[in-house]
Structure 1
Amino acid sequence: MAGIVARLPFPLSGRSSSASTYGLTDVAYSYAIGGMPFLSAINDERPMTRSGAPMRKEQVDQQQIPGEQSLAAWWLRSQASFIGGQGVLYQDPSSDNQYAIRYAESVGVNPWVNGRLTLLRETSQRIADATANRHHLLGWSDGTDRYWSAVGNVLKSDTGAAITTITWGGANTIRSLTSDGTNYYAADNVQVYRGAGNGAGAAWTATGTTNALVRWVKGRIMVALDNALHETTSAGVKTLRFTHLNSAWTWTDMAEGTNAIYASGYAGSQSDIYKLVLDTSGNVPTLASGGIIAAQLPRGEVVHCMTTYLGTFIGIGTSRGFRVGEIDEQGDIKYGPLLIENSSGVKSIAAYDRFFFVACTNAIESKSGLYRVDLGQPIQDNGGSPSVRYAYATDLQAKVTGEVSAVTVFGNSNRMALAVTGQGSYLESASVLEASGYLKTGRVRYNTLEPKIYKFVTVKTPTSLMGSVGVSVIDAGGADTSIITVSEGSSTAIEDVILTSPATAAEWIQLKLTLSRSAVDTTEGGEINGWQLKAMPGSVRQRVFTIPLLCFDKEKDRHGQMVGSEGRTRARLESFEQLFAAGDAVSFQDLADDLSYLVVIDDYKFEQKAQPGTNRSNYGGVLWVELRTIADVITA
């Protein structure tokens, strides 16, 4: 038997409901919903109720990594590691949990040890130079850690305790500097000069151009002169290996891969990286003549420097910033997007441990220093090649302005040296920490734009605190409000400290965590092991009204005034159901108290207590409505 399906008499959703209001006339109605008036059905058996709407819903945490959203009561956000480096805007959960290890920005702090935020070591100026000449730095060791510094026509060696001026053999501006581990090679526009350690140098092979570049790669000295690349013997005899077709081409740097030598250069706005392949068919690998493009840069972006590391990674400093590339099995370079953008470009890179140390010009509170990139900490899948981005943060500070033109590892140590044009060279201390540093978290907003009431902050520190730790709150207006500072030797725990800012509900806040050096031991300082914020929803709390209303064909108000006619109930009920089905906000008026609310009809129920007589003289019943406020009370 076929069923009969009746069409709904009105659409389930048309957003056609109204916030129109009702004005009292001759009948003393009690309430009005969406402009429809009703008399009250309230009595002892049918009370009206007012209650608060629940703010939280029951939920199951189905994320791959359990989150704080699975905990009851408070809204929580915490962080116990900072190894993901800087660069996040919002400290919101992500599928790979990056928010738990990254932050917004930092200055003077070391985030690279899991679970510890400490101060970096300070730097001090070693070799002053106020000229506009570019610096060249190169670390070396003869049992004592040192670095060579070439600027202008002066070559010096610095142990960090003593500076030695070297008679390098030339008298013109040094254009390039390299070393085979024992000897230095300094190139000017006349010759490449070679000398051992701090000893005097002598002419080794001719250059004849200011566009002279010398590099030690794959166990040989390579010399670039204008647009030509030469391989040299130990006696300084040059063999031409590749000449670029563009006579205006200038080579900027060279680096080595597993089976190739890489050379970067440019002409005008075009910049490429070439590879010169090693022929390993014989007993001794030989360098084949001819260059092959291994990577092309976007037009307008020029490669200034390169450093390869661990046979796989290549750091590329350009006129726009810094990229990390990977060398594939064919020796080609696949680089990612700009990891660090710097309007002054990147002119030098060094590698140590698992890190790239990258020149940072005027980008640490408008002063110069270094960035550090952690090759052991991939943080984001680009969906391209290479497939990841790497954690980075600002690092050592020179605390002066100027182009960072050189960076090198100090001998065989874990210390770095850098040079700033117009200022001089700066060496990282062996043990003395920065006087202070700070970290700003991402904006904590609990993944919603709704306002929140931020109540408590907890910051974990060692039980025996050296130096001091300060906590402040940065709000959306940029105000930085101090919350608490724990001084050296204090036993005070930063545990559920009341937040005095912001004073009202806010979409988001940031924490600024400040570390200071010990006043009694400059090698010790503040330390932070993690932080946590507690908040509550800050939206205006909604209320729920449950009200019984008369819905009969004929009704009498409190003054005895009769209203209605046969068939009225059916029409009113259907009109009300249309309001309910549309699901939009409607006005709710308490006509006796002259108040109005904007509400949503969450539910309703029509109760017909007795069947009407055959003549249907007064059909009807009680209409129960459940209304939820979505706006504050408005005086009608």
Structure 2
Amino acid sequence: MAGIVARSPFPLSGRTSSASSTYALEGVQYDVAIGGMPWLLKIDDQHVMTRAGAPVRKDQIDQQQIPGEQSLASWWLRSQATFIGGAGLLYQDPAADNQYAIRYADSVGVNPWVNGKLTLLRSTSQRISDGTASKHHVVGWNDGTDRYWSAVGNVLQSDTGSATTAITWGGANTIRSLTSDGTRYYAADNVNVYRGTGSGVGAALCATGTTNVVCRWAKGRLMLGQDNLMYEVDNAGAKTLRFTHLNPSFVWTDIAEGTNAIYASGYAGSEGGIYKFVLDSSGNVPTLASGGVLAAQLPRGEVVYAMTTYLGAFVGIGTSRGFRVGEIDDQGDLRYGPLLIENSNGVKAVAAYDRFFFVGATNGIDSDSGLYRVDLGQPIQDNGVSAGTRFAYATDLQAHVTGEVCSVSNFGNSDRMVFAVVGQGSYLESASTLESTGYLRTGRVRYNTMEPKIYKFVTVKTPTSLFGSVAVAVGDPGGAETSIITVSEGSSLSINDVVLAAPSTAAEWVTLKLTLGRSTTDTTKGGEVHGWQLKAMPGAVRQRIFTLPLLCFDREKDRAGQTVGYEGRALTRLEDFEQMFAAGDAVSFQDLRSGMSYLVVIDDYRFEQGAHPANNSSRWGGILWAQLRTIADVITA
């Protein structure tokens, strides 16, 4: 009984009859058998049998517009010199859109948004502690000093990042919504909306009468959502009803402004949508020209929790399933893209700054809470008019605690962000202090094939003068993660062609984990990576090539002098061999002298007919040269 003990390096055709055909010696002492057909060898100085290794690389022409690693000889290479495509990549394989060169699998605590550089993000600190279960609201403002308002429970405060000021805002109940027109705050509870300037005392502006209330400053006016009603509030506190949703259970969740419309999100049960209120600009002061018109319908079962518009063109949509990016067309309608970030806890906070959306990441950063960041300047996939665009994203600031991220805002006019976590408090981004550590994990490097590879060397480019530390680990399909090297501040070591200690055997793919550490002497500096490269070679079972000179005459003599054959035998055997060759299937090759067996394919053959041997009375015959390539070794049990 035969059994394959070395794996085939490529799939077989599925025909197994010829492969299972073997020959058992009896009588004539044949030398070899191919596909069950026995043969005598013709080995002498003119007819040499050879065994050689099969080439594992093929000659190819690189026809891409930009030469790449596939143009290089010797090693199989994969490298990356920028990370601006963000997270979410499974395989680090070449693609037409070149995403593998700019994206990666996932990261925590690192900033990939500077081209050609990976660094640590800035850390955060808790500013206002919150032990309640109430939603915590934060809104940034500036009166010459960067600040933010914090509202949690029935307490309103202003925080500069170093000192807080309690504000007598006018109400006594839980603050349900908070907004600003730039210098004045608007705090809404279940009784009234209260207005005050800066850190000054507030006073009632208009009545609310419900806990389902949201207020936002949009297009130079205060918009107020109460239950299923949408009001416009003037400077004197007079309310004008602009829209009544037909479902009395409908509640408004957020309000934002576009170029020529105001948008309001809400839901009832499992139905969610975004409505627009168009502005009439024919007069000196734009006025709301119409009631709510549905601008975007969310998939059933997905509802909008938070929303913000940006640059007159984009809308960030936080939903019960995660986060989407929408785009505003010339008519003010919304075209939202696919679910960019999935979070089973939903997204209930969205803000914008520079070219980014900052999105609440409830328990979404290694199970802790913080923010995601979405780069509107880096589209990674355009799905067309109907399906929208996907943008680069990654995890961002961390609170290092769990809990619902319920609000996020800019810190005054600075580039720093502040966000709030229910039951924990508000967290402010540091001006300069970095996270103590962070990491990036690459996609699976498999060289675009599922065949096993032998991974040999890794190179990671870092600055000449390194602050902090950079550590490299390799992950394999079995789930193991093996540390390879760590380079620390002041070390003379470099990560250049470092031998990979793992995986110990050939593997389909590996990942790299690059861990950055903060400097022990300067908290504003840390590890930095400019790129990485892996070197590998094919790990499949190396194939061998046998070239055999086979006797193919009507009559032949074996090594014991026994004659076998008859007139016409040679042609019949040649035609049978040619049919075996034409079928292209795997066949058995037996060396009957040594007892070794192989599974092979017949790569080529050549029949040479010359002068007959003196000891052969046949009128027809010659030498059949067969070239066989092994695809597995077989043993006989």
- Please report the TM-score for the alignment, with normalisation by the length of structure 2: 0.96
Tell me how far 1:66 sits from its aligned partner: 2.4
Say whether the 8 Å CA contact 1:16–1:584 is kept in structure 2. no
CA distance in 2, matches of 1:132, 1:99: 43
CA distance in 1, matches of 2:15, 2:359: 59
Superposition pairs of residues 408-557 of structure 1, within 5 angstroms: 408-557=409-558
Tell me how far 1:246 sits from its aligned partner: 1.4
CA distance in 2, matches of 1:386, 1:74: 40
Superposition pairs of residues 180-219 of structure 1, within 5 angstroms: 180-219=181-220
Which residue does the alignment assign to 1:351? 352
Which residue does the alignment assign to 2:145? 144
Tell me how far 1:18 sits from its aligned partner: 3.6
Task: String of CA shifts for 1:77-105, please: whole Å, max 9, x gaps.
Answer: 00000000000010000101000000000
Higher mean C-alpha displacement, 488-497 vs 432-441: 488-497
CA distance in 2, matches of 1:446, 1:528: 22
Which residue does the alignment assign to 2:3? none
CA distance in 2, matches of 1:525, 1:381: 35
Which residue does the alignment assign to 1:8? none
Tell me how far 1:315 sits from its aligned partner: 0.3
Tell me how far 1:19 sits from its aligned partner: 3.0
Which residue does the alignment assign to 2:106? 105
Tell me how far 1:279 sits from its aligned partner: 0.6
CA distance in 2, matches of 1:391, 1:56: 36
Which residue does the alignment assign to 1:9? none
CA distance in 1, matches of 2:618, 2:544: 38
Tell me how far 1:387 sits from its aligned partner: 3.8
SS of structure 2 residue aligned to 1:437: strand
Tell me how far 1:570 sits from its aligned partner: 1.0
Q: Which runs of 5+ in 2 are unaligned?
A: 1-12
Letter in 1 for 2:255: M
Task: String of CA shifts for 1:41-81, please: whole Å, max 9, x gaps.
Answer: 01111110111100000001122432211110000000000
Which residue does the alignment assign to 2:596? 595
Higher mean C-alpha displacement, 328-337 vs 242-251: 242-251
Say whether the 8 Å CA contact 1:320–1:344 is kept in structure 2. yes
Q: 1:444 to 1:617 in 2, by over 3 A?
A: closer
Which residue does the alignment assign to 2:91? 90
Which residue does the alignment assign to 2:6? none
CA distance in 2, matches of 1:558, 1:320: 78
- Are 1:382 and 2:346 counterparts? no
Which residue does the alignment assign to 1:567? 568
CA distance in 1, matches of 2:353, 2:242: 31
Letter in 2 for 1:496: D
Superposition pairs of residues 359-378 of structure 1, within 5 angstroms: 359-378=360-379
Say whether the 8 Å CA contact 1:241–1:288 is kept in structure 2. no
Which residue does the alignment assign to 2:10? none
- Are 1:585 and 2:586 counterparts? yes
Q: Which runs of 5+ in 1 are unaligned?
A: 1-11
Task: String of CA shifts for 1:248-302, please: whole Å, max 9, x gaps.
Answer: 1111110001110001111111111111100111222111231111000011111
- Are 1:619 and 2:617 counterparts? no
CA distance in 1, matches of 2:333, 2:17: 63
Tell me how far 1:365 sits from its aligned partner: 0.6
Superposition pairs of residues 302-341 of structure 1, within 5 angstroms: 302-341=303-342
Which residue does the alignment assign to 1:128? 129
- Are 1:393 and 2:381 counterparts? no
Which residue does the alignment assign to 2:245? 244
SS of structure 2 residue aligned to 1:630: strand
CA distance in 2, matches of 1:432, 1:13: 62
SS of structure 2 residue aligned to 1:578: helix
SS of structure 1 residue aligned to 2:632: coil
Higher mean C-alpha displacement, 615-624 vs 65-74: 615-624
CA distance in 1, matches of 2:384, 2:536: 35
Percent of aligned positions that are identical? 75
Letter in 1 for 2:89: V
Which residue does the alignment assign to 1:53? 54
SS of structure 2 residue aligned to 1:559: coil
CA distance in 1, matches of 2:532, 2:455: 14
Letter in 2 for 1:456: F
Say whether the 8 Å CA contact 2:326–2:388 is kept in structure 1. no
Superposition pairs of residues 13-92 of structure 1, within 5 angstroms: 17-92=18-93
Number of matched pairs: 624
Letter in 1 for 2:276: K
CA distance in 2, matches of 1:612, 1:144: 106
SS of structure 1 residue aligned to 2:45: coil
Task: String of CA shifts for 1:524-558, please: whole Å, max 9, x gaps.
Answer: 00000000000000011100000101111111111
How much is the aligned-residue C-alpha RMSD, in angstroms? 1.6
Superposition pairs of residues 167-178 of structure 1, within 5 angstroms: 167-178=168-179
Letter in 1 for 2:260: N
Tell me how far 1:616 sits from its aligned partner: 8.2
SS of structure 2 residue aligned to 1:63: coil
Say whether the 8 Å CA contact 1:17–1:578 is kept in structure 2. no
Letter in 2 for 1:299: R
